[in-house]
Chains A and B, each alone.
Chain A
Amino acid sequence: MSYQTGTATDPEDLMTQLNTFLTGTPGWTANLFSAANNRAVWSKAGVSALLAAQWDSSAIGMGMIQAFVGDVTPTNQTGYEFTNDSITANRHINQAAGPYPSYHFFEDDDYIHVVVEISTGIYRHFGFGQSIKLGDWVGGMYSYGQYWDQSVANIDNPLTTIHNGALSGANSTNATRTDGVHAQGLPDQVGSTKYLRASSNQSTDDDAAVVGQFFPAGWSDGQNIHFMSAQDSQLNGFKPLIPIPFYQWYTPSAPDNARLMGYYPDVRTVNLEGLNPAQEITVGSDTWVVFPITRKGNNGLSFDQEQSYNFGLAYKKVTT
């Protein structure tokens, strides 16, 4: 039940501030925080797995583990979801050398959502926590980052599937940079599978178990896509803030098998037309803060810099 905003100089400064924040009022445990080794592990009762973070001078990586071992690399923890300790090959935020003009920590109950302004007007999103689960499958922890491809061909096209993360999409052929969820016991899961990731390809985890596929139906694809296009209501100017569901999406079958697994807490998709980054929207007694996926941009404006049209995310600002 807290929110914090501020500035940070670089990844280490941001992660240090995040660690202080998480272990304060939110009540997360820092099983590990090592500024010397640039890594951390956080956990909290009610969250089905642990989050292992790493950072270097320009990127912050994050993945889930099953148990904490000690001040060792993620692959030496128990049940890491990736097969190697690379930051940039796996889930991370890129182009994040800093200094950051602003950051925002949104937290309540069992999640932390972080928005980082990596340079003026350009944003990255990452976070983790316990999802709002449907059904009795085991798990529920989610972890997301945001990789934004910098090639001239892709940097100004938010809908190319070469970008990954920020709670959306599942058509990337990259199986390791995408969002993930801890899930066990669902149909179509191979026996020892512990994780699903948002990719068109299956992969494996550190235990050589199959990592299945899931689909966060967020800003770029899925059931919310009509609403992402919605303008202000001509009746009252209202703009929809739409919850983000996620689905198990098993492609080896024919046809695919999809199952609604749950929702991400306190984050919504929003069309930013008429809204500014970090603008607050009041809905009843709730306050939501909106951000572009990377940078608010215009139709067809191919200026070879990061832009994400009017695609945006709204985070609930819980302060009491």
Chain B
Amino acid sequence: MAKQTGTADNYLDLMTAFRDFITGVSPTISWITVRDTSTSPVGANSPNTTEMIFQGDASNGGSPARNLYFGIRSYETPASSIFGWELRGFTGFDPGSPLGSITFENQPDPSPPVYIPLQNTTMTYWFWANERRVMMVVKTGTSYQWMHAGFLDTFATENEYPYPLMVMGSTPSNTVPFSSNSLDFSTIIDPIGNGTETPISGATSPMWLRFADGQWYPIKNGSGTTTITEKRQRGVWPLVGYSAADWPTDGGTAAVREFRQRFYGTQAGATPSAFLAQTPGSPDDITPLYPLTIIFSEPSRQMIGEISGAFWVSASGGVTAEDEIFDKGVSPAQRYLVFQNIHRTDPWEFGAVKDE
């Protein structure tokens, strides 16, 4: 488990900082770079489509104890102030023969792409890595971009669910600038994509999970651009919507105090039905953290797993981005860092990362 924070000169410099971090952390975290075109371009890569593919070894991190793979590739459209990373998950790595002939998107069983909009100027970053996954938050202007690549903490054994790889960026589109305030520019605690469910391959989402059947599934709580329609087939609890149609309890009617009904506003500046305030405590008030949990209502209603070290947190009571929350119920106290969901600052739009 490791963490690094610092600044990068631009989105390409951030790639090398990210690479150097995850491949240079403690010996028990065995991430290696299996392709890196930043110093040795291969194939048709140009300097602005730098590729890096990483291999992790989760054997020290519990189940599943196997290698995992993901890659990042830079992109840019300078005229539109668009710079960023594309992220995909893979089930292996094929260097190709001749070397580099297997392209980024043709690596074994690639996930659909997700994107992390960045800047071509100085940015502050936070990296976390353990044996099973890496996470990144980058401050771009007043927004915070998110990235996750690695295994979900599943409610299943390795034999039951061998490769629970999840990749998450901030957006499913590479035409979104970091400064966008679009409603559908939303991830981690409340991922938003399009409404396509059939075929799955036609969907978009900033979050994709490779399920036990070997198929990549979009994880999203909503869809739309000008208005957000709740999607409940495969979402992130606690903000995933509830309806008796998608989540029947053998005929149950709608609940009225589930989190999205009560603590969520449909647009920036909205007033939700309730604020989840801090609980008075000593010496510090208590800010509850809720583990981000992937749940499916299709093909059957079930809990899939938790996003390792990631939580929903209410920002009522003055909590804001980059704040620290301490769990003093453990020794030594465990620190969590709070960040907002990209451009959103409403109380229901915050996540926290366990500071490892």
Residues of chain A touching chain B, judged by Cβ–Cβ distance below 8 Å, are: 134-137, 158-159, 170-171, 185-187, 215, 217, 220-223, 225-236, 238, 240, 249, 254-261, 271, 273, 297-300, 309-311
Across the interface, do B277 and A234 meet the contact criterion of CB distance under 8 Å?
no
| Residue from B156, B259, B277 within 8 A of A259 (CB atoms) | B277
Using Cβ atoms and an 8 Å threshold, which residues of chain B touch A215? 257
Across the interface, do B160 and A236 meet the contact criterion of CB distance under 8 Å?
yes
Interface membership of B240, Cβ < 8 A: yes
The answer to whether residues A299 and B251 also contact, given A134-B281, A137-B280, A257-B277 and a CB cut-off of 8 A, is yes
Across the interface, do B258 and A226 meet the contact criterion of CB distance under 8 Å?
yes
Tell me the complex Cα distance, A71–B246, Å: 53
Min Cβ gap A265→B in Å is 16
Interface membership of B354, Cβ < 8 A: no
Across the interface, do B249 and A255 meet the contact criterion of CB distance under 8 Å?
no
Min Cβ gap A160→B in Å is 9
Using Cβ atoms and an 8 Å threshold, which residues of chain A touch B310? none
Interface membership of B11, Cβ < 8 A: no
Tell me the complex Cα distance, A98–B200, Å: 55
Smallest CB-CB A-B distances: 10 pairs: A256-B274, A299-B251, A135-B279, A229-B247, A309-B250, A299-B250, A225-B255, A135-B281, A235-B160, A221-B255
Min Cβ gap A107→B in Å is 25
The answer to whether residues A258 and B302 also contact, given A225-B247, A309-B251 and a CB cut-off of 8 A, is no
Across the interface, do A229 and B258 meet the contact criterion of CB distance under 8 Å?
no
Across the interface, do A258 and B247 meet the contact criterion of CB distance under 8 Å?
no
Min Cβ gap A154→B in Å is 13
Across the interface, do A258 and B255 meet the contact criterion of CB distance under 8 Å?
no
Interface membership of B26, Cβ < 8 A: no
Chain B facing A: main interface SS: loop
Tell me the complex Cα distance, A158–B249, Å: 11
Tell me the complex Cα distance, A260–B285, Å: 11
Across the interface, do B257 and A217 meet the contact criterion of CB distance under 8 Å?
yes
Tell me the complex Cα distance, A186–B278, Å: 11
Using Cβ atoms and an 8 Å threshold, which residues of chain B touch A227? 295, 303
Across the interface, do A225 and B271 meet the contact criterion of CB distance under 8 Å?
no
Min Cβ gap A157→B in Å is 8
Across the interface, do B242 and A261 meet the contact criterion of CB distance under 8 Å?
no
| Residue from B258, B273, B280, B285 within 8 A of A221 (CB atoms) | B258
Across the interface, do A229 and B212 meet the contact criterion of CB distance under 8 Å?
no
CB-based nearest B residue for A297: B250
Tell me the complex Cα distance, A254–B247, Å: 29
The answer to whether residues A221 and B248 also contact, given A235-B161, A236-B156, A258-B262 and a CB cut-off of 8 A, is no
Interface membership of B238, Cβ < 8 A: yes
CB-based nearest B residue for A220: B255
| Residue from A137, A170, A236, A309 within 8 A of B252 (CB atoms) | A309
Min Cβ gap B291→A in Å is 11
CB-based nearest B residue for A310: B250
Using Cβ atoms and an 8 Å threshold, which residues of chain B touch A236? 155-157, 160
Using Cβ atoms and an 8 Å threshold, which residues of chain A touch B259? 223
Across the interface, do A309 and B277 meet the contact criterion of CB distance under 8 Å?
no
Using Cβ atoms and an 8 Å threshold, which residues of chain B touch A260? 276, 279, 286, 288
Across the interface, do B242 and A135 meet the contact criterion of CB distance under 8 Å?
no
Known: A225-B247, A231-B300, A300-B251. 14 other contacts (CB 8 A): A135-B280, A217-B257, A225-B255, A227-B295, A230-B295, A230-B302, A233-B156, A234-B302, A235-B161, A240-B155, A254-B271, A255-B271, A261-B279, A298-B250
Tell me the complex Cα distance, A297–B251, Å: 10
Tell me the complex Cα distance, A185–B282, Å: 13
Using Cβ atoms and an 8 Å threshold, which residues of chain B touch A158? 252
Contacts of B290-310 to chain A: CB distance below 8 A: 290, 295, 297, 299-303
The answer to whether residues A226 and B272 also contact, given A309-B250, A309-B251 and a CB cut-off of 8 A, is no
| Residue from A221, A231, A256, A311 within 8 A of B301 (CB atoms) | A231
Interface membership of B21, Cβ < 8 A: no
Min Cβ gap B173→A in Å is 29
| Residue from B238, B253, B274, B302 within 8 A of A159 (CB atoms) | B253
CB-based nearest A residue for B278: A259
Interface membership of B326, Cβ < 8 A: no
Contacts of B221-270 to chain A: CB distance below 8 A: 237-238, 240, 242, 247-253, 255-259, 262-263
Interface membership of B275, Cβ < 8 A: yes
Across the interface, do A170 and B257 meet the contact criterion of CB distance under 8 Å?
yes
Min Cβ gap B163→A in Å is 13
CB-based nearest A residue for B281: A135
Counting chain A CB atoms within 10 Å of each CB, the highest count among B156, B257, B276 belongs to B257
Min Cβ gap B244→A in Å is 9
Across the interface, do B278 and A136 meet the contact criterion of CB distance under 8 Å?
no
Across the interface, do B274 and A258 meet the contact criterion of CB distance under 8 Å?
yes
Min Cβ gap A83→B in Å is 27
Tell me the complex Cα distance, A229–B249, Å: 5
Across the interface, do B301 and A230 meet the contact criterion of CB distance under 8 Å?
yes
Across the interface, do B249 and A258 meet the contact criterion of CB distance under 8 Å?
no
Tell me the complex Cα distance, A130–B299, Å: 40
List 18 A–B pairs whose Cβ atoms lie within 8 Å, in order of A's numbering: A134-B279, A135-B286, A136-B280, A215-B257, A223-B238, A226-B247, A229-B249, A229-B301, A230-B295, A232-B300, A234-B302, A235-B155, A256-B273, A259-B276, A259-B278, A260-B288, A299-B251, A309-B250
Using Cβ atoms and an 8 Å threshold, which residues of chain A touch B275? 255-258
Tell me the complex Cα distance, A170–B256, Å: 10
Using Cβ atoms and an 8 Å threshold, which residues of chain A touch B257? 170-171, 215, 217, 221-222, 249
Min Cβ gap A278→B in Å is 20
Across the interface, do B280 and A171 meet the contact criterion of CB distance under 8 Å?
no
The answer to whether residues A234 and B299 also contact, given A135-B286, A223-B258, A259-B279 and a CB cut-off of 8 A, is yes
